[in-house]
Amino acid sequence: AQRVTQPEKLLSVFKGAPVELKCNYSYSGSPELFWYVQYSRQRLQLLLRHISRESIKGFTADLNKGETSFHLKKPFAQEEDSAMYYCALVYNAGNNRKLIWGLGTSLAVNP
Amino acid sequence: DVKVTQSSRYLVKRTGEKVFLECVQDMDHENMFWYRQDPGLGLRLIYFSYDVKMKEKGDIPEGYSVSREKKERFSLILESASTNQTSMYLCASSLRLKGNQPQHFGDGTRLSIL
């Protein structure tokens, strides 16, 4: 069955330190992967998608099909990066496409 | 910019009441979704809709129903509210899922059932 695993519920780093939020997926087909972010008291919003290969707010994520991972990375964390991060997978289910969410990782960046 | 509007940010209701949560989007999106968000459980899909008058059950539909009479509006109904339905409810919309169409979320409704 398709699955998205974010192994860390909580990740705490110091400002300026590198940060990596892990996301592993289970899907035999060609995956489409997203990272969403929810800052305190704000709506959940798209951070980045794998097909765009873009860097948003200093974050990047590379799809590694061999390791079935889509880890989110930033070389120097900032306090404003503190938020809840969700990894999501879109997959083919018959004639439909479905989306499945990880349980989320809460990132705390300490001064 | 896509705007997804949920009718209430906070709502307090009593056990047994029928509760309506409303969601409106302004970008002519075909797909609309209702989730509940609970600590440690992430986002769980309640119902979704691919088109007007069309609905499909998500992962946790029990105790809920939905209505999509117009393309822009997707309502979540708690037929007889119970305390275990106290949660944050998120509405989202997207273009029909082809390629990388992201979901756009509302601010959420924090519902408390007493």
Which of A21, A101, A105 to mutate against chain B (most B CBs within 10 Å)? A101
Q: Over the stretch A37-57, which tens digit does the pLDDT of each residue have?
A: 999 989 999 999 888 878 889
Residue A66 burial class via C-beta count within 10 angstroms: exposed 0-12, middle 13-18, buried 19 and up: exposed
Report how many domains make up chain B. Answer: 1
Residue contact B43–A46, C-beta within 8 A: no
Average pLDDT over residues A91-110: 88
- Report H helices in A24-90: none
Q: Indicate the pLDDT class of residue B91, thresholds 50, 70 and 90.
A: very high
The answer to whether A50 and A33 have CB atoms below 8 angstroms apart is yes
Residue A10 Cα distances to A6, A13, A20, A85, B44, angstroms = 10, 10, 12, 10, 19
Cα dihedral A53, A96, B107, A104 sign: negative
Tell me the residue type at A68.
Answer: T
Q: Which residues span the domain enclosing B38? A: 4-97+105-113
β-bridge partners, B6 = B23
Average pLDDT over residues B24-30: 93
Full 3-state SS string of B64-113:
EEEEEEECCEEEEEECCCCHHHCEEEEEEEECCCCCCCCCEECCCEEEEE
Shortest alpha-carbon distance between residue B114 and chain A (Å): 23
Using an 8 Å CB-CB cutoff, list chain A residues near B39: none
Q: Do B102 and A104 touch (CB under 8 A)?
A: no
**Which residues from chain A sit within 8 angstroms of residue B107, using beta carbons?**
42-43
Length of chain B (residues): 114
Domains and CATH numbers, chain A: 3-110 (2.60.40.10)
| Distance (Å, whole) CA A70 – CA A20 | 10
pLDDT level of residue B98 (50, 70, 90 thresholds): low
Rounded distance, CA B92 to CA A92, Å? 20
Supply the pLDDT for residue B44.
95
CB-CB: which of B43, B97, B102 is closest to A97?
A: B97
CATH number at residue B49: 2.60.40.10
What pLDDT is recorded for position B74?
98
Q: Would you say residue A93 has pLDDT above 80?
A: no
